[in-house]
Amino acid sequence: MLVASFVSIFAMWYIGLIMAFLGMLIISSRYKLVIDPDQMIIDDFLEILKMKSKHKQFRYKKLKYVLINSSRFTQQLNYKSISSNISGMLYSAYLVCDDQKHFLGDSQDLGKLLIKVKSFAEKAGVEVRDHSRVKN
C-alpha cells in the first residue's frame, strides 16, 4: 500500500497521502499482551501508532500454562475461470489463567510458534502444553 501511495502521489496527491497514512496504520498496528506479575494484572490491547486501542485489563490469581492448539483450514481462491484451493494447519497459542484464555499468537509453522511461546513461558514461569499433536 505504501508503494502504491508513492506512485499515486504524483497523479493525485491527496489520494497518495491517504494511502500512505493507511499504510502507516497497518504497519504500526500490533496486538500486545502485557503481564504485570507484581500487581497480578494482564493488559490486553491493540497498539496503533503507539496508542492503546481496545484496551482490556484482567486481574488473575495464578498463571496456569500456555496451551497450543491446531486447526485445519481451507481457502478457495477464484479468479475468472481459474480456481485453486489452499489448505494447511494453523497453530494457535493461548495463555490460560484462572478461567480465562488470552491469545498469544498463531502461525502455520509450529516450530516458530514453539520458539516464541517457550521464551514467553520461561519468563512467565509456566509450562507449555502442546495439544496440537493430540489425535481425536
> 13-69: per-residue pLDDT in tens?
777 778 888 888 888 888 888 888 888 888 888 888 877 777 788 888 988 999 999
Q: Which long-range contacts (CB under 8 A, 24 or more apart) does 88-94 make?
A: 89/132, 91/132, 92/68, 93/66, 93/67, 93/68, 93/117, 94/66, 94/67, 94/68, 94/69
pLDDT score for 81: 82
pLDDT 10s digits, 67-95:
999 999 888 888 888 888 888 999 999 99
